[in-house]
Chains A and B, each alone.
Chain A
Amino acid sequence: MSATAKAGQIGRSLPRLEGRAKVTGRAEYIHNLRLPGMVHGKIFRSAVAHGRIRRVDTAAAKALSGVFAVVTSDDIRKVISNPYYGPAFHDQPILAIDKVRHVGEPVAVVLAEDPHVAEEAMRLIIAEYDELPAVTDEVEAMTSTVIVHDALKPAGIFPDLKHLEGRKGTNVALDFHLRRGDVKQAFAEATHVFEHTFRTQPVMHTPLEPMVSAAEPGDGTLTIHTASQSPSFVRMEVARLLGWPENRVRVKTAFLGGGFGAKLYIKLEALVAALALLARRPVKISLAMDEQFFTITKHPSTFRIKSAVDKDGRVTARECEVWWNGGAYADVGPRVTQKSGFTAAGPYDIDNVAIDSYALYTNRPPAGALRGFGIPQLVWAYESHTDMIARALGIDPVEFRRRNILRDGRPQATGTVMKDAAIDKVLDRLVQRLGWSRPFDRGQGSVKRGRGLAVGFKASIAPTTSVAILNLYADGSCGLYCSTVDMGQGSDTAMAQIAAEVLDIPAETVRVVHPDTDVTPYDMATLGSRSTYHMGHAVKRAAEDARVKIDALKADLGVPPGSNVPLAELFRRKYGMQAGNIVGVGSFVPSYASPDHDTGLTPNATPFWMVGGTGAEVEVDTETGHVRVARLINVADLGTPINPRIVETQLSGGAIMQLGFTMQERMEFADGQLLNPNLADYKIPGMRDLPARIESEAVDAVERGGPFGAKGVGETATFGVSPAIANAIDAAVGVRLTELPLTPEAVYRALRKAGR
């Protein structure tokens, strides 16, 4: 089957298949789930950042009328003897054991039929701790005498983490190193050397459907209903914890009310599994908004970046040291450290590169994946740095980028030769849209105007697997079974379009069956903008397999191959009545070569590259420090869009989310306590925070390795937003901010410090 689309289903701006359910309020979310005999769990959480648990007194809570049970780690261990979980490290206890390692860590759970009773009882629990000194800063954690975990416990599924087993006396969960060329020599010969340090703040995904999971015990089985981005992983991990075969654990999801990486791997699932087995009845835990802030966050980071530049404005060497604040439990932080780490030198053609990237344990809530998997933190630093160099050398920032940009056919820092990464094209389109060569209104009076841009790139996640099943029913209608989770990105619609294109039927007639591990086949997870590419390939192959089987059926019945006898009629002829199925199966594993442990080099770092750039025009009020983003332009290479309209909303939505992380969001800690775990004090962008103009564009590109030329898009528009705005602020008022967020206060202080 040809890779090019002919049936007209690809490149169609089909409205989302589930649109009607969403506008009538009838879309299914786990949030809505009610199970007969269900009890609600309310979590009692640690009030200290680091401490030994002296005593947990649950007597008063147990005595409250209506309380079904109060559970601590002692109870959990009756059903799960070694209750530590995690995707990269088995370091996170289902409920705290002996120690607490961050404020908000789950210590006990109250179960009651009435959630209000559970909450009231939870407040009656008393815990006493011997408080320990806490380490909260990622750079201090490198050398601190405060050690968060006595020994490292890698999960063993990632071969490159195995060497960490049992390592003691360190907060470094993973150190990734890349060495390319002769960095020392290049710095010695440099005409100019620039060094800067950038920081990012702790922020939270805040999906509006807070995390929610329920577990339902059966006869030697367990069904978990969960708002999860990774149902296949949940099944595997819960089965491992219980020591059961995977076929006794069933995991079902529905639509997610937002995910953004918050609902990945295991969050509440191991807890509700244990609780349901203890209670012998269904248990549901629905987090309140504030509890999400204690569950998962985005890595705060510190990035020291140093560049050698020759007399022609070419970057000849770059040194990157990145420290990732992973919080108290590793979650997927070590993968962020490596997968993002190897792109830390940016989308530039640099012969000599040294990267050191460290995942740190600290006494903060855990950090994991958040829309970009570490890339926005890196682009923030390297694209700010790029502008600072250009400014210092008196070279136009666009010209400086063009001199150094990484083009197809040239090796990236890992040594992997770039292909189908339209970095130069993205930059060109930004420049054109901004009208860079035209005169720019610099503002007047106390309001100054500036513009800036930034370009970033990201490698896809590998090695990962996706499997899809396409079922053609007796009447000829089609069901598509895949474990990709539609959390708003429109994957149901995109997958239906891919299947429909192969089968030459309208995409709206394809029924997409939602993840249910008893029904839908394995998928690694819905993360890292991987679904369109990985699951897209699997779906395409499943549909192609079905077509081959249709042709075989035709041959069997003596129907000529090109004939248009409907499928239902073929089934009738074959089985003598409306009966039968054709089942097509497809799977996809991209080729990949893991980076060398010592050098970080690999000839095949990723199945594909995502490229995203942002241009910003800002107005800075020099009297108040207030920054108004007048125009935000997001340009991306996402290959050939499957659904251009949905793709455009992914770009603008991603940029708006990153705008929040850039301008306003920050989890505020004082004395170990989180001060603002709620939407009153932690402000996410609303309508009034939008730029006056927001524009999105997919450049004309093809991902030759992708299904119908497509690749992922969910994270791409987040890459360039923060540095583009910081660069525009610098252009407007000549001050440079090196720490996010870019609040009016930060701008004001920088202006005063600069004497402006």
Chain B
Amino acid sequence: MSATRRIRFTLNGQAAAAEIGTHETLVEVLRDRFALFGARESCSQGLCGCCTVLVDGHAVSGCLFLAAAADGVKIQTIEGLASGERLDPVQEAFLECGAFQCGFCTPGFILMTRQLLDENPAPSEDEIRHYLSGNLCRCGAYPEIIEAVKLASHKVKSRTPGGAAP
């Protein structure tokens, strides 16, 4: 496990580089080299969604995604979602709906919701349940998460130019 290589990528909009072991996963590199703790290893099998990050706009399980494969990509983590003090509408919606308890799975749910709304700005409840079925919340905040996704959908629409509200 001594082989290393250098990777360059864009991390939350900034150019970044790291010397990584070829066995290391993206979530380890984000944690150990960049002190980004929002993506969290939990099940280590890509089944719980706690380690979700966006790679070139697609949600991946950071615990299974080898860091070596991140060379040349754009990575977005939960830490990069807000613009300064202004939260992303999905974050706002989760906050307003109280869509979390312990908060450990929350970044994964928010990033997955972000991707859902990018693909489908007005998902039905059934579509929400289906799309987020790969994220687990042991506290069982699912009813509030569903509510938050619906609220976020309204917020996104109203923030989009030509949307209903200013």
Chain A CB within 8 A of B17 CB: no
From A18, A116, A289, contact of B44 by CB (8 A):
A289
Point out the residue from A23, A116, A653, A688 that lies within 8 Å of B106, measured CB to CB. A23
A135 beta carbon closer than 8 Å to chain B: no
Q: Evaluate whether A24 and B78 lie within 8 angstroms (CB atoms) in the complex, with A15-B98, A208-B42, A649-B98 already known.
A: yes
Q: Are A490 and B104 in contact (CB under 8 A)?
A: no
Q: With contacts A15-B95, A24-B91, A690-B129 known, is A655 near B42, CB below 8 A?
A: no
Q: Given A208-B136, A680-B47, decide whether A23 and B94 contact each other with a Cβ distance below 8 A.
A: yes
A473 interface residue (CB < 8 Å to B)? no
A750: interface (CB < 8 Å): no
Check if B77 is an interface residue, CB within 8 A of chain A. yes
Chain B residues near A29: list those with CB within 8 A: 37, 40, 104
Bound complex: CA A653 to CA B1 (Å)? 42
Chain B, range 129-152, C-beta contacts under 8 Å to A: 129-130, 132-146
| Contact indicator B79/A490 (Cβ below 8 Å) | no
Q: How far is the CB of A120 from chain B (nearest CB, A)?
A: 7
Let me know if A687 and B101 touch, CB within 8 A. Answer: no
Chain A 698-721: CB-based contact to B (< 8 A → 1; otherwise 0): 000000000000000000000000
State A256–B6 Cα separation when bound (angstroms).
35
Contact call B102/A687, Cβ cutoff below 8 A: no
Given A24-B82, A208-B136, A487-B102, does the pair A257, B40 have CB atoms closer than 8 Å? Answer: yes
Query: Which residue of chain A is the closest to B23 with respect to CB atoms?
Result: A116
B31, B37, B139 — most chain A CB neighbours (10 Å): B139
- Flag whether A110 is at the interface (Cβ < 8 A): no
- Let me know if B124 is at the binding interface, CB within 8 A: no
Number of interchain pairs (Cβ within 8 Å): 160
Q: Interface residues of A toward B: which range?
A: 35 or more
Q: Across the interface, do B140 and A654 meet the contact criterion of CB distance under 8 Å?
A: yes
Asked if A462 CB lies within 8 Å of chain B CBs, one says no
Assuming the A-B contacts A26-B38, A260-B138, are A488 and B102 also in contact, with contact meaning beta carbons closer than 8 angstroms in the complex?
yes
A209 touches B101 (CB 8 A): no
Instruction: Determine which of A20, A25, A289 lies in contact with B38 in the assembled complex, contact meaning CB atoms within 8 Å.
Output: A25
A27 touching B103 by the CB < 8 A rule?
Answer: yes
B137 CB to closest chain A CB (Å) equals: 8
Cα separation A582 to B136 with both chains bound (whole Å): 44
A489 in complex: contacting residue of B23, B47, B101, B105, CB < 8 Å: B101
| Chain B residue at smallest Cβ distance from A209 | B104
Nearest Cβ on chain B to A151's Cβ, whole angstroms: 38
CB pair B45 A208 closer than 8 Å:
no
Alpha-carbon separation in the docked complex, A2 to B82 (Å): 44
Which of chain A's residues have a CB closer than 8 A to the CB of B77?
A: 25
Chain A residues with CB below 8 A from B100, complex form: 19, 22-23, 488
Convert B68-79 into 0s and 1s, putting 1 for each residue whose CB lies closer than 8 angstroms to a CB of A: 000000000111
B77 to chain A, nearest CB (A): 7
Q: Is residue A474 contacting chain B, with contact meaning CB distance below 8 A? A: no
A552 beta carbon closer than 8 Å to chain B: no
Q: Which residue of B lies closest to A688 (CB)?
A: B133
A206 contacts partner chain B, Cβ-Cβ < 8 Å: yes
Give the distance in Å from the alpha carbon of A116 to the alpha carbon of B128 in the complex: 37
> Digit string of A645-666 for contact with B (CB within 8 Å is 1, else 0)?
1100100111111000000000
Residue of A nearest to B32 (CB): A34
Give the residues in chain A near B82, CB-CB below 8 Å: 24
Task: Give CA–CA (A259, B139) in the complex, Å.
Answer: 9
Which residues of B lie under 8 Å from residue A678 when comparing CB positions?
Answer: 43, 45
Residues of chain B within 8 A of A489, CB atoms compared: 101
- B142→A690 contact, CB < 8 A: yes
The reply on B107 being an interface residue by CB < 8 A is: yes
Residues of A1-54 contacting chain B, CB below 8 A: 15-16, 18-27, 29, 31-32, 34
Tell me how far the C-beta of A693 lies from the nearest C-beta in chain B, rounded to whole angstroms.
Answer: 10
**Which residues of B1-44 are within 8 A (CB) of A?**
1, 21, 23, 31-32, 36-40, 42-44
Report the separation of the CA atoms of residues A171 and B146 in the bound assembly, to the nearest whole angstrom: 47
Q: With an 8 A cutoff between CB atoms, is A670 at the interface?
A: no
Determine whether the beta carbon of A258 is less than 8 Å from that of B47: no
Within 8 A of B (CB), among A303-341: none
CB pair B40–A209 under 8 Å, yes or no, is yes
Per the bound structure, the CA–CA distance linking A694 and B147 in Å amounts to 13
* Nearest-Cβ distance from residue A714 to partner chain B, whole angstroms: 10
Q: What chain B residues lie within 8 Å of A20 (beta carbons)? A: 87, 95
How far is the CB of B4 from the nearest CB of chain A, in Å? 12
Residue among A258, A288, A489 having the largest count of chain B Cβ atoms under 10 Å: A258
User: Are the C-beta atoms of A24 and B38 separated by less than 8 Å?
Assistant: yes
Establish whether residues A24 and B79, one from each chain, have CB atoms under 8 Å apart when the complex forms.
yes
Chain A 462-494 interface residues, beta-carbon cutoff 8 Å to B: 487-490
- Smallest CB–CB gap between B44 and chain A, Å? 6
A694 nearest CB neighbor, chain B only? B143
Residues of B close to A259: CB separation below 8 A:
102
Q: Count chain B CB atoms within 10 A of each CB in A25, A208, A679, A680 and give the residue with the most.
A: A25
Asked whether A215 is an interface residue with its Cβ less than 8 Å from the other chain, the reply is no
Tell me if A156 counts as interface (CB < 8 A to partner B).
no
Residues of B within 8 A of A25 (CB): 36-39, 77-79, 106-107
Task: Indicate if A220 sits at the interface (CB-CB under 8 A).
Answer: no
A206, B138: Cβ atoms closer than 8 Å: yes
Do A255 and B103 touch (CB < 8 A)?
A: yes
Which residues of A from 248 to 264 have beta carbons under 8 Å from B? 255-260
A656: which of B43, B110, B133, B140 is its contact (CB, 8 Å)?
A: B140
Per-position 1/0 for B145-163, Cβ under 8 A of A:
1100000000000000000
The smallest beta-carbon distance between B145 and chain A, in angstroms, is 8
Among A22, A210, A646, chain B packs the most CB atoms within 10 A around the CB of A22
Tell me the minimal C-beta distance from A95 to chain B in angstroms: 24
Residues in chain A near residue B54, CB distance under 8 A: none
B49 → chain A, closest Cβ, in Å?
9
Tell me which residues across on chain B come within 8 A of A649, comparing CB atoms. Answer: 98, 101, 141, 143-144
Give bound CA distance, A228 to B139, whole Å.
Answer: 17
Q: Which residues from A are CB-within-8-Å of B87?
A: 20, 23-24
Beta-carbon contact of A208 and B98 below 8 Å: no
Inter-subunit contact A488/B103 (CB<8 Å) = yes
Residues on the B chain within 8 Å of A687, using CB: 128-130, 132-133, 135, 142, 145-146
Q: A207-B104, A687-B146 are in contact. List 6 more A-B contacts (CB 8 A).
A: A15-B96, A21-B103, A25-B106, A208-B138, A656-B142, A678-B43
Residues of B within 8 A of A (CB): 1, 21, 23, 31-32, 36-40, 42-45, 47-48, 50, 77-79, 81-82, 87, 91, 94-96, 98, 100-107, 110, 128-130, 132-146
- Show 9 A/B contacts (Cβ-Cβ < 8 Å), sorted by A: A23-B94, A24-B78, A25-B77, A206-B138, A208-B43, A208-B50, A210-B42, A255-B103, A289-B44
Closest 7 CB pairs of A and B: A25-B38, A488-B102, A257-B104, A656-B140, A22-B103, A488-B101, A25-B78
